[in-house]
């Protein structure tokens, strides 16, 4: 299937004014999981819309409680606190998410790894860093990273981190998963059309009241005020990962917030990655993975996956795309 993308990479949702029929577009913005979420539904009236939007918010909040590593009472925290000590029995949903994450890690040669969490103590991208971590500090943090050391027992539904000091976190997959689950709950409640936008991890279904597809504005990552093109999104997801919004500068050099979990160092060579797939969860994980793998290996991997497409903007501001995307600039 060819997807026609009309250029660049940071996602902005564009909603047309309500159509003349009885259905309208209702959108609510809310902060969840520490990020800005925008929930959109097509409904007949604001009362129905608010009811369904609240259902989505409750579902995202439920996911946050399940996967949060900051909540000391969450199952994720219990897994982390039991690292190197004992296996932890978890809910089926969390077990399956961890299992899928391990499979993505194997697929991406470790470029995606939910056990990267110990590195969070070394790199800070929400405040200024006066100096870089030492090579010794980085090597020590990497020694506690490795999806091969996440031991799962399907029969007992247990998760065991077999090294003390190991931690898992869902920062590179959690928002996409939450977006998928919110969409699922709305579809189950017969909401025919809508969008869940989790700070750029976007999944959409159905159509606008006019019968047209939802459109996503694709903008230059170096100039967000300039729209290069529009991308129709129909029952699919699109996720962008970029180093142009969140980075640090030390001694005149910029460092991306996307860390290679295999080396402990920030990734280089790519400005932005956009993944299009059916599930936001997968798109979320693959966007980070391609960033870490680099252009050649990343594109080669994507070209081998069914119903997944990719666009990369490299550090020279050149566009590299997977096989089935045609780019038409405005």
Residue ranges covered by each domain of the chain:
3-65+173-327, 75-161
The reported pLDDT for the residue numbered 131 is 75
- Does the pLDDT of residue 3 top 50, yes or no? no
Of 289 and 221, which is predicted with more confidence? Answer: 289
Could you tell me the fold of the domain covering 3-65+173-327? T-fold (3.10.520)
Q: Do residues 128 and 248 make contact, with C-beta atoms less than 8 angstroms apart?
A: yes
The reported pLDDT for the residue numbered 1 is 39
Residues 159, 80, 258: CA angle, nearest 5 degrees: 105
- Does the pLDDT of residue 16 top 60, yes or no? no
Could you tell me the fold of the domain covering 75-161? T-fold (1.10.3980)
Domains 3-65+173-327 and 75-161 share a fold: no
Collapsing DSSP to helix, strand or coil, 79 comes out as: helix
- Does the pLDDT of residue 14 top 60, yes or no? no
Place of tokens 């009236």: 45
Quote the CA–CA distance of 158 and 193 in Å, as a whole number.
37
For 265-311, the pLDDT digits (tens) are 888 889 889 999 999 999 999 999 999 999 999 999 999 999 999 98
DSSP per residue over 270-285, as a string? EEEEEEEES-HHHHHH
């Amino acid at each position: 299937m060819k997807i026609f993308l009309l250029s660049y990479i940071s996602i902005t949702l564009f909603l047309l004014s309500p159509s003349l029929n009885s259905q309208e577009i209702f959108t609510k913005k809310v902060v969840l999981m520490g990020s800005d979420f925008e929930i959109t539904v097509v409904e007949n009236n604001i009362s129905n819309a608010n009811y369904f939007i609240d259902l989505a918010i409750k579902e995202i909040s439920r996911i946050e409680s399940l996967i949060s590593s900051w909540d000391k009472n969450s199952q994720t925290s219990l897994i982390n606190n039991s690292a190197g000590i004992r296996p932890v029995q978890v809910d089926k949903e969390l077990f399956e998410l961890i299992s899928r994450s391990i499979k993505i890690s194997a697929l991406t040669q470790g470029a995606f790894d939910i056990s990267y969490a110990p590195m969070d103590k070394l790199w800070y991208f929400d405040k200024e860093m006066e100096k870089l971590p030492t090579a010794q500090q980085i090597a020590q943090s990497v020694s506690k990273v490795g999806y091969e050391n996440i031991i799962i027992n399907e029969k007992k539904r247990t998760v065991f981190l077999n090294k003390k000091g190991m931690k898992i976190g869902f920062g590179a997959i959690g928002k996409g998963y939450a977006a998928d689950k919110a969409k699922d709950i709305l579809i189950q409640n017969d909401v025919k059309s809508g969008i869940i936008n989790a700070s750029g991890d976007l999944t959409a279904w159905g159509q606008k009241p006019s019968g047209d597809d939802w459109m996503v504005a694709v903008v230059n990552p170096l100039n967000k005020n300039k729209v290069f093109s529009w991308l129709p999104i129909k029952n699919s997801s699109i996720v962008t990962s970029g180093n142009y919004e969140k980075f640090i500068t030390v001694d005149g050099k910029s460092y991306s917030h996307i860390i290679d979990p295999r080396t402990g160092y920030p990734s280089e060579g790519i400005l932005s990655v956009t993944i299009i797939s059916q599930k936001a969860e997968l798109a979320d994980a693959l966007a980070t993975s391609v960033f870490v793998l680099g252009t050649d290996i990343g594109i080669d991997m994507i070209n081998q996956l069914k119903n997944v497409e990719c666009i990369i903007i490299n550090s020279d501001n050149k566009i590299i795309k997977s096989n089935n995307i045609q780019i038409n600039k405005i």
